[in-house]
Structure 1
Amino acid sequence: MNKRSKEKYVVTCAWPYVNTIPHLGTFLHLLSGDVITRYLKIKGDEAIYVSGSDTHGTPVIVAAEKEGIPPKELAFKYHNIILRLLKEWNIDFTNYTHTHNEVHIDFVQGFYKKVHKNGYFKLKESKQFFCNHCNRFLPDRFVEGTCPHCHHQGARGDQCVNPECGKILKPTELIDPYCATCKNPPTLKKTEHWYFDLPKFEKQLKDFIISTPHIPANAKPKMLDMIKDGLVARPFTRDLKWGIPAGPIFGDKFKDKVLYVWTEAVLGYLSAVKEWAIKENKPELFEYFWKDKKTKTVFCIGKDNNIFHIILFPALLMAVNDGYPLPYAISTTQFIMFREKAFSKSQGIGLWADEATAILPASYWRYYLIYTRPELKDSNFEWSEFAKIVNSNLNDTIGNFIHRTISFITRSFEGKIPARGKLTHDEKKLLSEVEESIQDYIKAMDNFKLKDAATIVSDIARKGNQYLSSAQPWHTIKENKETAGTTLNISAKITEILAILLWPIIPEVSEKVWKALGFQEEILEKGIFSIDIKNTLAEQKIEAIKPLFYKIKEDDIIKSLNDFRKSKQEQSKQKEKKKMDENRKKEENKIDYKTFQKVELKVATIIEAESIENSKKLIKLQVDLGTEKRQIVAGIKQYYKPEELVGRQIIVVANLKPAKLMGYESNGMLLAADIDGEPILLKPDKDVPDGTPIR
């Protein structure tokens, strides 16, 4: 196959909120970007893949309040879970970061200082919901109510959560609004915020949308209609504490406000590359990728994020006017429904990324999600359909063909790919069709139609299976080994092709097959353009391979899922019990003020210090308490020399009962801070008379 010139790509996906574990619909965005990046790499392009956890914003704050922990703690709890899940799912990022890092914060503030200087922000006074019960302003997701368009109850203040609606909303548009935290009705209160002057970019955005081919056909008309109806200025700052401070951009008056989360999350596509370049000690890589107009940027998102990536993000790049290329492709997926219902953690509807890999290997899920990727309309997850696709496509078609081919060669041809003899008309036709399928696969991937690409791979394997069954080499080998050899040679060639085409979708399986075929180079070194139908692979030594997949039963996987959920619930109960026990012990260990008054704390000066022989820890001290002198034995020998202690003032518990340590009486105890086992002696801020009481 003919190679073409190398191109440069930045692939990214919508940054998942870290307010919970991602469900399959969210994880599909991360998986899609991985598949696209891997494809670009086997095509020989220069591609990096970046994203990260969206640690700021109201969803994180709301979830943190429900768990009773600070937003930062909750954000990094789920960020670390996502990092683990990425490994389990074999999703390979060049840089998966988070928005609460210095590189991102500095980049965002610097970016918007330029936009502000360019004159695209304006200050407006507005009325915003305020909760008198919680004593705070309520940004969008802190307000819930009934959608004015579809009358769905539980709509958020920024967007209707009904998949059939999804309208962008203002909190004040909700019917019967209430505070999401305390459920009380809010009041309107005046506040000042900065707004991005989006209407100024209507013409540029219209031209961009019309001229960009890789914007989903079902999204273009909606975005153009929004422009036709007239864009409105978008609020840029929020009355929140958790987020990127707005003060450095807009002045001290706004030091207690933060940036609207969408305004900083979309800039993560740039800052993540900058952070990676810094980590690589090659800061010039940032401009190499993001300041080159030829760089193609690809965004894998859900349909509810179209407005942010087709209108708002491009407008920001236009506003900063700093040489960044506009989006090349928006690869949008529709929603995955679960048995006709939207995913809901609280209602137990759906499947989450950690659950999926707990019950089946990641390759099953990667293949299924790409094969059924909802590119044009919402899809519906059903266990019966999932089992059918796994059993029919993965096991019976792809896995069966590859295993039959390799097993037959290792068993009947001494583990070497046999020579290719004279081809029949049907065999020539088969190889020609496979070549056409490879071109169709490339075309589908180039147009980000991942679902079509997965279907093409399955069809190639299906043709291979049909060919094997028709040629029946297990029979022909008895009469004509050369004919059987040709059958297996062609099958081995198709297996090689499958290994390459499957690598973006199920890389771990692909690499097993590649290794079994005896290739010394990595798949990435060979690439898709190394495929040559005429290269027969004859005499190439191969290795036996175990079955790649196994059939599944719907009842079995549902049972495994329920067992996993029960186990997690039990672990959660144990953690909650442990937390309650710890809190109870803390309460039990608390003393009242009268009890504390019984402890006599006094200032003393060390007048003598002597090491106790045969002890690694103990020093004998003589201390002056003002009205008397006492002997105290202290376990500080490993950290203080006796001569260093003489003359130092210390704090002593003066009314302890005497105790004997290695035969020496101790009449009191000195106080020390404990840092990882190292004692740090406490002393007054300035010299005071010995015997001075501590209150």
Structure 2
Amino acid sequence: MDTKYYVTTPIYYVNDKPHIGHAYTTILADVLANYHRLLGTPTYFLTGTDEHGQKVQQAAEKNGISAQEQCDQTVVRFQELWKRLEISNDDFIRTTEYRHKKIVQEVLQDLYDRDEIYRAEYEGWYCVGCERFFTEKDLVEGNCPECGRKVDAIVETNYFFRMSHYQQWLIEYIETHPEFIQPDFRANETLGFLKNNELQDLCISRPKSRLAWGIELPFDSDFVTYVWFDALLNYITAIGYKSDDDMFKKWWPVNHQLIGKDILTTHTVYWPTMLKAMGVELPKTVFAHGWWLTGRTKMSKSLGNVVNPMEMIDRYGVDAFRYFLIAEMTLGQDASFTEEAFVRRYNSDLANDLGNLLSRTSNMLGRYCDGKFPAIGNDAVADGPEKELWDAVQQAVTDMEASIGSMHLNGGIASVLAAVRKVNQYFEIKQPWTLAKEGRTEEVETTLAVAAEALRVSSALLYPVMPERMGELRTLFGLGMPDMEHLRVFGVIKAGSEVPKTDPLFPRVELPKEEKPPKPSEKENAVTEKQEKPEGVITYDDVMNVKLRTAKILEAEKVEGADKLLKLQVEVGEEKRQLIAGIAQHYSAEEVVGKTIVIVANLKPAKIRGVESQGMLLCASVGKELRLITVDGELPASGAAVK
């Protein structure tokens, strides 16, 4: 295990409001930092903003304010969003701060004194949007190869870093340090670039006549430094480079520098050669994650398909947003963001599995254990279904630990959710509602205690992703902040602790319903020829007109004033429905929750005892005996057609 953990995000440019790309990288860093804190590893998490450059200067001029005022107004958007997203960064660095600018100038002077930086005339093509120079061969049909915009021909004197001297060294370093660039295929991209191109020296300045908003070169007051020797140095200026030796030695080298794949060259070519020239150890790992796409299209402000994190938070909550981003993307690969996919995962993982399990457990503790956590021995999980469940929970702990080291967080989360589903299956095996009817109180208490302990461990494993909601879950069981020490221990919840009933942790959500096209008229559907058929016999078409679907029972309660009726909330595919069923004398409310049943999905809604029922469930009966028709085995989703 690492003796310390230092994680960074890129510093974000303050030319516009933050979008999902900014939010994702920052949430990812936060989750990694939280997991390492859970493991008891000393942790430092840095993020911040890049506040110099031509676009900031142009925006300030347009708004009639100073460049510093422009930065001060825009940076607040990032700081407010990070607060809303529950980001636990230890520092937020701004490149306009004195602590940063001072060290940048010291580094520049040192490199200039050692002839690592020199002055020369430059002739090339400049993209204002990207703030980069390109050679003639770099251009694509005469335009910027990065953004496609028109470029300007420029001849001017500038200062250059001798990056070309380090080409062969960097190739050898990457080949002998496979952990330096991750995932592996990103390392291959960088190696391909280095082996197939002659590395040029890097222009690191802009004349003040063209760009005044930047850190002045200490050896030439007519120039400011450009982004490379400004923004990139934030990763070390923030932790004491040349200002606090003890702090710098404690945290450097950084364990994970998280970046988007679009800034791979900057961080795997420019940055390591800069550090080599400075005599500073390289990062342990630069990890490049993929892009969020809308369908198969990259999110882009120009296309108008960028997801606004604030809107998603307002609509669905902070923790659900954090959960989706971490659970949905395989690190290193691109991922697609649609609101439909978000709602589907939210309802499946959070509302149905995790939230429903907590409701069932707390409600049964209230009904069968007087709302208090029962006293049971540590040997409760020694064998049988209890051991099988606890083993699944412990496997989730193992998998999550491994996923942190391998940067496969979505896999770790999937293992935790598998353990949560195992608890729901455990309830179906043990049926505590039946045990309670039979007076087997000790078995009921054991069943509910084991389920609650499994929830406790699961909440700890998911706490780094969803600190607010998992904190609420843990408070319900009288627990505080999680720690790794107790994840392997059974029997942590204190006997006698009051467990109050709780509102749904993750209430189900629905997308706005689309308007359906008008139905064909009766005339259009009229049967032109009436066919004779024997009495009591139905045709194939009659059968096909009855739509049988699977449905998962999410909630159940008795209908007031009706001994025989249960009111059920069921999930049919993406839809939530209410059914009234005359099964209360055969099944308790707790007993039916979680079952996958078969319903007639296209039955006309009817009111029963004043309560609307949107369908009919199927049962089998012999005499006074009645049993629900259920599905044999697990299906990936409700709403499946019954054939």
- For the aligned pair, the TM-score class normalised by the smaller chain equals 0.7 to 0.9
Structure 1 residues 507-526: aligned runs within 5 Å: 507-519=467-479, 521-523=480-482
Question: 2:401, 2:199 → 1: CA distance?
Answer: 38
Report the counterpart of residue 219 of structure 1 in structure 2. 186
Distance of aligned partners of 1:104 and 1:84 in 2 relative to their CA distance in 1, 3 Å threshold: same
Deviation digits for residues 325-348 of structure 1 (CA, Å, limit 9, x no counterpart): 321122321110123333233443
Report the counterpart of residue 445 of structure 2 in structure 1. 485
Does residue 1:106 correspond to 2:107, yes or no?
no
Report the counterpart of residue 554 of structure 1 in structure 2. 511
Report the counterpart of residue 265 of structure 2 in structure 1. 307
Report the counterpart of residue 453 of structure 1 in structure 2. 412
Structure 1 residues 613-692: aligned runs within 5 Å: none
Which residue, out of 217, 241, 247, partners 1:247? 217
Report the counterpart of residue 501 of structure 1 in structure 2. 461
- In the alignment, is the contact (CA less than 8 A) between 1:124 and 1:195 conserved in 2? yes
Unpaired stretches in structure 2, ≥5 consecutive residues: 516-643
- In the alignment, is the contact (CA less than 8 A) between 1:10 and 1:289 conserved in 2? no
Distance of aligned partners of 1:477 and 1:376 in 2 relative to their CA distance in 1, 3 Å threshold: same
- In the alignment, is the contact (CA less than 8 A) between 2:326 and 2:409 conserved in 1? yes
Q: What is the CA distance between 1:72 and its match in structure 2?
A: 2.6
Question: 1:344, 1:123 → 2: CA distance?
Answer: 37
Deviation digits for residues 133-182 of structure 1 (CA, Å, limit 9, x no counterpart): xxxx86563689999889699x6x4x524xxxxxxxxxxxx7xx636xxx
Question: 2:173, 2:508 → 1: CA distance?
Answer: 48
Q: What is the CA distance between 1:50 and its match in structure 2?
A: 0.9
Deviation digits for residues 625-657 of structure 1 (CA, Å, limit 9, x no counterpart): xxxxxxxxxxxxxxxxxxxxxxxxxxxxxxxxx
Using structure 2 for the length normalisation, give the TM-score. 0.72
- In the alignment, is the contact (CA less than 8 A) between 2:67 and 2:213 conserved in 1? no
Cα RMSD for the two superposed structures:
3.0
Amino acid at match of 2:130: R
Using structure 1 for the length normalisation, give the TM-score. 0.67
Does residue 1:195 correspond to 2:195, yes or no?
no
Q: Secondary structure at the match of 1:126?
A: strand
Distance of aligned partners of 1:390 and 1:207 in 2 relative to their CA distance in 1, 3 Å threshold: same
Moved more, 108-117 or 12-21: 108-117
Which residue, out of 73, 94, 103, partners 2:90? 94
Amino acid at match of 1:370: I
Question: 2:245, 2:325 → 1: CA distance?
Answer: 36
- In the alignment, is the contact (CA less than 8 A) between 1:145 and 1:178 conserved in 2? no
Distance of aligned partners of 1:540 and 1:207 in 2 relative to their CA distance in 1, 3 Å threshold: farther
Question: 1:410, 1:138 → 2: CA distance?
Answer: 66
Question: 2:493, 2:266 → 1: CA distance?
Answer: 49
- In the alignment, is the contact (CA less than 8 A) between 1:107 and 1:271 conserved in 2? yes
- In the alignment, is the contact (CA less than 8 A) between 1:373 and 1:451 conserved in 2? yes
Report the counterpart of residue 674 of structure 1 in structure 2. none
Report the counterpart of residue 640 of structure 2 in structure 1. none
Distance of aligned partners of 1:246 and 1:74 in 2 relative to their CA distance in 1, 3 Å threshold: closer
Question: 1:538, 1:247 → 2: CA distance?
Answer: 63
Does residue 1:467 correspond to 2:426, yes or no?
yes
Q: Secondary structure at the match of 2:286?
A: strand
Does residue 1:9 correspond to 2:14, yes or no?
no
Distance of aligned partners of 1:331 and 1:401 in 2 relative to their CA distance in 1, 3 Å threshold: farther
Question: 2:131, 2:82 → 1: CA distance?
Answer: 30
Question: 2:214, 2:403 → 1: CA distance?
Answer: 40
Moved more, 202-211 or 137-146: 137-146
- In the alignment, is the contact (CA less than 8 A) between 2:20 and 2:308 conserved in 1? yes
Identity of aligned residues (%): 24
Structure 1 residues 7-46: aligned runs within 5 Å: 7-46=3-42
Q: What is the CA distance between 1:531 and its match in structure 2?
A: 1.5
Report the counterpart of residue 263 of structure 1 in structure 2. 229
Amino acid at match of 1:305: I
Q: What is the CA distance between 1:529 and its match in structure 2?
A: 2.9
Question: 2:329, 2:271 → 1: CA distance?
Answer: 25
Report the counterpart of residue 594 of structure 1 in structure 2. none
Amino acid at match of 2:263: N
Distance of aligned partners of 1:151 and 1:118 in 2 relative to their CA distance in 1, 3 Å threshold: closer
Distance of aligned partners of 1:557 and 1:246 in 2 relative to their CA distance in 1, 3 Å threshold: farther
Question: 2:489, 2:436 → 1: CA distance?
Answer: 23
Report the counterpart of residue 528 of structure 1 in structure 2. 484
Q: Secondary structure at the match of 1:122?
A: strand
Amino acid at match of 2:164: P
Amino acid at match of 1:304: D
Question: 2:259, 2:510 → 1: CA distance?
Answer: 32
Which residue, out of 145, 150, 156, partners 1:178? 150
Question: 1:377, 1:537 → 2: CA distance?
Answer: 39
- In the alignment, is the contact (CA less than 8 A) between 1:52 and 1:97 conserved in 2? yes
Question: 1:60, 1:78 → 2: CA distance?
Answer: 10
Distance of aligned partners of 1:246 and 1:557 in 2 relative to their CA distance in 1, 3 Å threshold: farther
Which aligned segments of 4 or more residues in structure 1 are displaced greater than 6 angstroms? 143-150
Question: 1:64, 1:404 → 2: CA distance?
Answer: 56
Question: 2:64, 2:488 → 1: CA distance?
Answer: 60
Report the counterpart of residue 680 of structure 1 in structure 2. none
Q: What is the CA distance between 1:471 and its match in structure 2?
A: 2.2
Q: What is the CA distance between 1:18 and its match in structure 2?
A: 0.9
Distance of aligned partners of 1:458 and 1:67 in 2 relative to their CA distance in 1, 3 Å threshold: farther
Q: What is the CA distance between 1:427 and its match in structure 2?
A: 2.5
Q: What is the CA distance between 1:199 and its match in structure 2?
A: 2.4
- In the alignment, is the contact (CA less than 8 A) between 1:236 and 1:259 conserved in 2? yes
Amino acid at match of 1:58: Q
Q: What is the CA distance between 1:439 and its match in structure 2?
A: 0.8
How many residues in Structure 1 have an aligned counterpart in Structure 2? 505
Structure number with greater Rg is: 1
Amino acid at match of 2:204: F
Q: Secondary structure at the match of 1:93?
A: coil
- In the alignment, is the contact (CA less than 8 A) between 1:518 and 1:540 conserved in 2? no
Report the counterpart of residue 204 of structure 1 in structure 2. 169
Question: 1:436, 1:138 → 2: CA distance?
Answer: 52
Report the counterpart of residue 630 of structure 2 in structure 1. none
Amino acid at match of 1:477: A
Report the counterpart of residue 355 of structure 2 in structure 1. 399
Does residue 1:352 correspond to 2:312, yes or no?
no
Deviation digits for residues 12-52 of structure 1 (CA, Å, limit 9, x no counterpart): 10111111111112211111111111111110101111121
- In the alignment, is the contact (CA less than 8 A) between 1:473 and 1:484 conserved in 2? yes
Question: 1:189, 1:539 → 2: CA distance?
Answer: 76
Amino acid at match of 2:278: V
Distance of aligned partners of 1:285 and 1:475 in 2 relative to their CA distance in 1, 3 Å threshold: farther
Q: What is the CA distance between 1:444 and its match in structure 2?
A: 0.4
Q: Secondary structure at the match of 1:488?
A: helix
Does residue 1:232 correspond to 2:200, yes or no?
yes
Q: What is the CA distance between 1:204 and its match in structure 2?
A: 3.2
Unpaired stretches in structure 1, ≥5 consecutive residues: 130-136, 162-173, 180-185, 559-695
Distance of aligned partners of 1:442 and 1:143 in 2 relative to their CA distance in 1, 3 Å threshold: closer
Question: 1:264, 1:216 → 2: CA distance?
Answer: 27
Question: 1:287, 1:557 → 2: CA distance?
Answer: 56
Q: What is the CA distance between 1:67 and its match in structure 2?
A: 4.7
Distance of aligned partners of 1:336 and 1:557 in 2 relative to their CA distance in 1, 3 Å threshold: farther
Which residue, out of 322, 335, 341, partners 1:366? 322
Does residue 1:286 correspond to 2:247, yes or no?
yes
Q: Secondary structure at the match of 1:141?
A: coil
Question: 1:460, 1:339 → 2: CA distance?
Answer: 31
Q: Secondary structure at the match of 2:100?
A: helix
Question: 1:284, 1:404 → 2: CA distance?
Answer: 54
